[in-house]
Structure 1
Amino acid sequence: MTSICVAGGTGQVGREVVRLALAAGHSVTVLSRHVPPTGSNRHHDGASYFAGDVTTGDGLSDALAGADVVIDCLEGQFGKAQKHFADGGARLLAAANRAGVVKAVALSIINCDQSTFDYYATKAAKEQKYAESTLETVVVRATQFHSLVAAVFAAAAKVRVIPVFKGVGFQSISPVDVAKVLLLEAVEEPSSQLHRVRTIGGPDVLDMRAMAVSWKAVTGARGRIVQLPLPGAMGAFLRAGRNLIPEQRIGTETFVSWLEKRKESL
């Protein structure tokens, strides 16, 4: 049994890490800005929840006490959280070091250091903090989640338009498949390499139009599929295929199978 602290353990991937770790018999604590209520889909019986904030350091020592490994699933997409994302990672690593944690595993994004898009740049900056740590660290870079692509379609479908970006494909992945890899890396025996980066992608590389057709078929949504350009840093990143890694197809949950499981809530 390993004692694992999951930072961001109430988020999309984090709560799957918690579920899988508990099912495997590990001791699990969760660090989150807010402790979820019992009975909610963000709360798993058997885990201990601690309120904390990596931007200030509040609550970190309590959540990390006794942990062997920390799995960092924290996000920083907007505002203060994005501005302090990298520094928050450094603060978490420092607290983990003080608590006697021996390994830190962080979730990141494929080729985030090859984009000037703000969110990706903060991910790359946080990766650098992990590379500088005195702890053994593993950064798991994942391709975009199935839910991201579905959300793009759903948002635009409200006005009966389903956008597909010109020259763009995705190798989207299930949060569950990402969580499995994070947990596997967390419980692996110590490595001779102090800092490692592993990149994983979903089981299929799909044209965005094909994904839109599948999304319409599963959800029954109405709307016209329209090809549009995607300008800016994100458009350049996607058109260059930097979001793809065909040689690392991880997991079995395809975009369509993921949609089928959730079609009532999409």
Structure 2
Amino acid sequence: MTPAAVSKNIARLEATLGIRLFQRSTRSLTLTPAGEQFQREIAGPFEAISNAFAGAAMIDGKPSGTLKVSVALAFGREYLVPMLGAFLDRYPGIVPDWHFDNRPVDIIAEGFDVAIGGGIELTSTIVARELARTHIVVVASPSFMAGRKMPTHPSELIGFDGIARRSPTTGRLRAWTLVNQVGEQCVAEFRTRMIFDDPEAIAHAAMLGQGLALLPMPHAAPGLSNGTLVRLLPAWYAEQNPISLYYPKRTLLPARTRVFIDFVVSTFEQGRLASKFDARI
């Protein structure tokens, strides 16, 4: 709609209701107290109607429409993009609109159907469905460890060069406390050789023999599987937020969102990805 059409419709609504909904000035447009009350009263019914339309959107009896998903860059590329072919074969009417970003998004404010990752703040409007437990592990390349004695306790890491991780949100270097199955704890400390703010870049630097690294299991797993990384201190790990599916809490979830959630959960179970990400196994 054009701005003129919007203004005309608002004026008509205000005339019908007999109240002023907006306070207008040359620089701002805000709701009046009466407008705020009206918005609260219609929010629930309007969302129900919107969800009903979304739920009814079908092509040949199958869900359709654009599916807006937020996912971390490396995790999405490695584990979720390979699922897309089978998903689209099953639901050809759904158009994936994926946003790759290494940050916790505001699902409601940014209009996402689903976010996949960890660390998103849970509120009364957000549902989280856990996909996998995951941990931080200590890794290095075989070439880096050549001629070096394997550490037997986290306290011995201080003698190794390592790749530190800086938090992109706080700017601080991440510190990890390792634990083992019997409950012992020890802070992982090493000589900082370089500092990165992206775990995927840290994984590649570690594969190239540039130092040991503390990596989330999803980032370490490919290297551990193909032999470009070895795990140091296999009995030790650090806790991390689980990988979850996050989506808006609604009475009627759009069909495209519902089938995508079920598909991802099923694919994780069939591929036993949860066991690959759990450092305790």
TM-score by length of 2: 0.23
- The normalised TM-score by structure 1 is 0.24
- Please identify the structure whose Cα radius of gyration is greater: 2
The structure whose residues are more often strand, as a share, is 2
